[in-house]
């Protein structure tokens, strides 16, 4: 089923490159969201990984990995 975005909800998206030695990366939005009340979704094409999020604020969040990868994780943050 397609996902529809409500026109009154803001979102941010991007991608973060990781190296094998990186287990954490901080994402800072170019423009903060109105609050820290947003959902996150991640895609890492061709990789089976576990992602956790810490330090979630209106200005951004931190991606944490259990193991190092050499690849890119794409993300979208949607205001709830």
Q: Within a domain: residue 12?
A: no
pLDDT for position 80: 95
Task: Work out the percent of the chain whose per-residue pLDDT is above 70.
Answer: 92
How many structural domains does the chain have?
1
As a whole number, mean pLDDT of residues 33-54 equals: 93
Q: Within a domain: residue 33?
A: yes
Q: Within a domain: residue 6?
A: no
What SS3 string covers 8-27? Answer: CCCEEEEEEEECCCCCEEEE
Quote the CA–CA distance of 77 and 29 in Å, as a whole number.
Answer: 10
As a whole number, mean pLDDT of residues 6-20 equals: 91
Q: Within a domain: residue 1?
A: no
pLDDT band at 11 (very low <50, low <70, confident <90, very high): very high
- Residue 7: CA atoms inside 13 Å, Cβ hemisphere, count? 0
Q: Within a domain: residue 8?
A: no
Q: What domain range includes position 44?
A: 22-79
**pTM of the entire structure?**
0.87
Would you state the structure tokens that stand for residue 58, as one six-digit string? 């209106």
């Amino acid at each position: 089923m397609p996902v529809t975005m409500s026109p009154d909800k803001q979102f941010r998206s991007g991608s973060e490159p990781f190296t094998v030695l990186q287990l954490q990366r901080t994402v800072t939005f170019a423009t903060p969201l109105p609050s820290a009340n947003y959902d996150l979704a991640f895609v890492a094409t061709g990789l089976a990984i576990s992602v956790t999020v810490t330090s979630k604020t209106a200005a951004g969040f931190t991606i944490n990995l259990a193991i190092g990868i050499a690849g890119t994780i794409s993300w979208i943050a949607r205001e709830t």
